[in-house]
Amino acid sequence: MNLLKNFADFGLEPRVLQAITELGFEEATPIQSQSIPIALTGKDMIGQAQTGTGKTAAFGLPLIHKIAKEEERIVALIMTPTRELAIQVAEEIGKLSRFKGIRSLAIYGGQDIGRQIRALKRKPQIIIGTPGRLLDHINRKTIRLDDVQTVVLDEADEMLDMGFMEDIQSILKLVPEERQTLLFSATMPANIQKLASQFLKEPEHVSVIPKHVSAPLIDQAYIEVPERQKFEALSRLLDMESPELAIVFGRTKRRVDELAEALQKRGYSADGLHGDLSQHQRDTVMRKFRDGSIDVLVATDVAARGLDVSGVTHVVNFDLPQDPESYVHRIGRTGRAGKEGTAWSFVTPREMDHLYFIERVTRHRIPRKPLPTIAEAIEGKQRIIAERLIEVIDQGELTEYKGLAIQLLEQYDSVQLLAAAMKIMTGDKKEASDIHLTPEDPIRAKRRKPDIRSGRKPSGGYGGRSNSGGGYRRDGGSGGNRGGYSKGGYNRDGNRDGGGYNRDRNSSGDRKPRSYNNDRRPNRGGDE
Ligand SMILES: Nc1ncnc2c1ncn2[C@@H]1O[C@H](COP(=O)(O)OP(=O)(O)OP(=O)(O)O)[C@@H](O)[C@H]1O
Ligand SMILES: [Mg+2]
């Protein structure tokens, strides 16, 4: 197959190409090369490619190309499992359709419905929404789907897993039969076939799974650590590596709250994100993380899917995820768009079997790494302080401090003075004795056939690593560096629909089984 890499060769209209150029996309990623021509023909398709390899534009560009600016009806519907993802996808669609003047709108729970109804009056052609709130609008007759020509299910497998099957069924019943349906995710567990056979017509399958991992973009490792030492391990890792931005995944909402608080006590700039926060709180945390006013985002799996924040250099699984799919998506929050990233997982001794299970399903061996020593942590912290000092010297503007500096140097030794300044900069972090984390029970390995995940291509694997086959060139090649592409303004994050939903444990610590039952359905009461 002769794959096109140049966006201009797809026959996309000039105003769409202009947006692509503006975003700094120099060439199409493999999933884009393969999907765009198929999507343009109007056929149904299933697209699978690794995290961070541009699936949004893969379905977004053909959609935008086809819609006429004058259109006043909703002709395209994109569904996502979480609110932040709806917001983020809407942002990306907005950027890609900017010069064409297409109107798109995000519709999600937790936001004032009146505001959404007013925005709908501006006649958007593309709706990006979470299933619950979409149904709400459909019932209120504020959204009509009679004219929808294209439906996209982003993170389709997760929507199933969250119990959205019935909602999706109800929504799709209202969309004309002769529509085009596209389904995208980095993971395709076997149950996705059920959804596909029900909603898609003779779909083309596009699967970009690299055969050889020449240079993984995500450096994965696990650290065996007893439950009660996890916090110390995390502190040491953060000190040693000083991530630009890090996401730390915890199993439950309670865990996230406690961990975020503990990190703050220790002087880290951290905050928590989970489904029990108000939408306003969720938005605020995400905005702070995006603009760098916090460096550590502690989150439940609400942040595992689709979230695209540039500058995330590290992902830490403070608690191992239950599902291998979740592992793949969580670590995929780093190593995106050709950038490198690091992903560590804490594994308690009793969870080693579960780690092997994740390795088997993802077909990737995760190397073991020793717990960083205190000396390494201190060294890391000091290195960062030294770098900061040098940066400040380079910036100049020190005149007003110089007088006092000279005075002090007359009385004290220079090394001693500098050491004292560095000690202050290190911050006065509270001891671990002040930190309280409720222990989590170990996750037990589930039985599942290794092949179950891969849908059509059992020979593949979705080890959550990008490489030459997966996406971008990492050697400064044209795809690897997005040049002047903006870091994204406000909310471009992922997030779950149901505020009360928890795949994690609820605050009282009960484990929610990961199966289809009503308990696991998003609690939309008061949320949608
Ligand atoms: N052709 C391209 N060249 C450079 N950057 C791109 C290109 N296409 C998309 N991107 C950027 O890459 C990043 C990741 O894209 P996107 O979020 O669509 O990934 P994804 O495949 O959907 O990942 P996930 O599985 O985690 O949802 C985004 O910031 C996007 O703007
Ligand atoms: Mg995505």
pLDDT in tens, 287-303: 999 999 999 999 999 99
Distance CA 237, CA 11 (A): 48
DSSP state of 30: H
| Residue 448 confidence (pLDDT) | 58
Query: Would you say the pTM of this structure is higher than 0.90?
Result: no
What is the average per-residue pLDDT within 217-228? 96
Which pLDDT score is estimated for 505? 30
Choose which residue among 308, 310, 334 to substitute to test ligand 1 binding: the one with the highest number of ligand atoms within 8 A of its C-beta. 308
> Does the structure show a pLDDT above 90 at 223?
yes
CA distances from 354 to 18, 315, 447, 455, 514 (A): 47, 19, 10, 22, 15
Q: 479 pLDDT band (50/70/90 cuts)?
A: very low
- Note whether 7-207 and 218-374 share their fold: yes
Greater model confidence, 216 or 501 = 216
- The pLDDT value recorded for residue 509 is 31
Choose the weakest-confidence range: 132-136, 173-177, 236-240, 420-424: 420-424
Q: Which residues of 105-123 are buried (b: 16+ CB within 10 A; e: fewer)?
A: bbbbbbbeeeebeeebeee
Helical residues (DSSP H) of 46-112, grouped into ranges: 55-66, 83-96
Q: From the CA of 58, which ligand is nearest?
A: 1
pLDDT at 186 over 70: yes
pLDDT single digits (tens) 393-420: 999 889 999 999 999 999 999 999 998 9
Return the structure tokens found at 367: 């190397």
Q: Above 90 in pLDDT, residue 31?
A: yes
Residues 1-18: what's their mean pLDDT? 91
Q: Please, are residues 514 and 158 in contact by the beta-carbon 8 Å criterion?
A: no
Q: How confident is the model at residue 497 (pLDDT cuts 50, 70, 90)?
A: very low
Amino acid 190: pLDDT: 86
Starting from the CA of residue 488, give the closest ligand.
1
Q: Tens of pLDDT along 301-326?
A: 999 999 999 999 999 999 999 999 99
Indicate the range of 37-41, 337-341, 465-469, 514-518 predicted with least confidence.
514-518
Using CA atoms, how far apart are residues 252 and 501, in angstroms rounded to an integer?
Answer: 11
Flag whether pLDDT at 130 surpasses 90: yes
Mean pLDDT of all residues in the chain?
84
Protein residue closest via CA to atom 25 of ligand 1: 51
Rounded to 5 degrees, what are φ and ψ at 34?
-85, -35
**Which residue is listed with tokens 């289809």?**
516
Percent share of the chain, pLDDT over 70:
81
pLDDT reported for residue 501: 32
Predicted confidence (pLDDT) at residue 482 exceeds the cutoff of 90: no
- Tokens linked to 275: 């489904």
pLDDT at 463 over 60: no
Ligand nearest to the CA of 29: 1
Ligand sitting nearest the alpha carbon of 217: 1
pLDDT at 414: 94
CA atoms of 440 and 226, how far apart (whole Å): 11
pLDDT of residue 451: 41
The CA 422 to ligand 2 mean position distance, Å, reads 42
Whether 425 shows a pLDDT value over 90: the answer reads no
Task: Using the predicted structure, report yes or no on whether residue 431 has a pLDDT greater than 70.
Answer: no
Class of domain 7-207: alpha beta
**CATH 3.40.50.300 at 218-374, yes or no:** yes
**pLDDT of 363 above 70:** yes
Confidence of residue 434 (pLDDT cuts 50, 70, 90): confident
Whether the predicted pLDDT of 248 surpasses 70: yes
Residue 36 tokens, joined = 């765009």
- Residue 56, pLDDT > 60, answer yes
pLDDT at 11: 96
User: Which range (183-187, 260-264, 442-446, 489-493) has the least confidence?
Assistant: 489-493
pLDDT band at 95 (very low <50, low <70, confident <90, very high): very high
The answer, yes or no, to whether residue 99 has pLDDT greater than 50, is yes
Q: In the chain, pLDDT over 90 holds for what percent of residues?
A: 73
Map residue 234 onto helix, strand or coil. Answer: helix
User: Residue 66 and residue 444: Cα distance in Å, rounded?
Assistant: 48
Alpha carbon nearest to ligand 1 atom 27, residue:
306
Q: What are the residues whose beta carbons fall under 8 Å from the beta carbon of 330, sequence distance 6 or more?
A: 247, 249, 301, 304, 315, 317, 321, 343
Q: CA quadruple 462, 341, 55, 501: dihedral positive or negative?
A: positive
Task: Give the strands of the sheet with 245-249, arranged side by side.
Answer: 218-224, 341-347, 312-317, 245-249, 296-299, 270-273
How distant is the alpha carbon of residue 277 from its chain centre? 18
Average pLDDT over residues 210-223: 79
Average pLDDT of the residues in 338-363: 96
pLDDT of residue 426: 77
Token couple for 167: 């909602």
Q: What is the mean pLDDT of residues 104-123?
A: 96
The domain limits of the chain are: 7-207, 218-374, 398-426
| Best mutation site among 6, 22, 32, 55 for ligand 1 pocket (most ligand atoms within 8 Å of CB) | 55
As for ligand 1, residues whose beta carbon falls within 6 Å of it are 25, 28-29, 32, 49, 51-57, 186, 306, 308, 332, 336-337, 479, 482
Nearest to 275 by CA among 110, 29, 76, 163: 110
What ligand 1 atom has the least distance to the C-alpha of 186?
A: 25
Q: How far is CA 318 from the centre of its chain?
A: 16
Residue of the CA atom closest to atom 1 of ligand 1:
28
The per-residue pLDDT for 513 is 31
3-state secondary structure 488-513: CCCCCCCCCCCCCCCCCCCCCCCCCC
Angle at 239 between CA 235 and CA 243, to 5 degrees: 105
Binning pLDDT at 50, 70 and 90, where does residue 512 land?
Answer: very low
Distance CA 10, CA 160 (A): 32
> Residue 192: its pLDDT value, please?
87
Which of 343, 321, 322 has the alpha carbon at shortest distance from 332?
Answer: 343
CA distance between the termini of the chain? 45
Q: What is the mean pLDDT of residues 255-274?
A: 96
Instruction: Give the per-residue SS3 of 264-302.
Output: HHCCCCEEEECCCCCHHHHHHHHHHHHCCCCCEEEECHH
DSSP state letters, 154-187 = ETHHHHHHTT-HHHHHHHHHTS-TT-EEEEEES-
pLDDT confidence band for 484 (50 / 70 / 90): very low
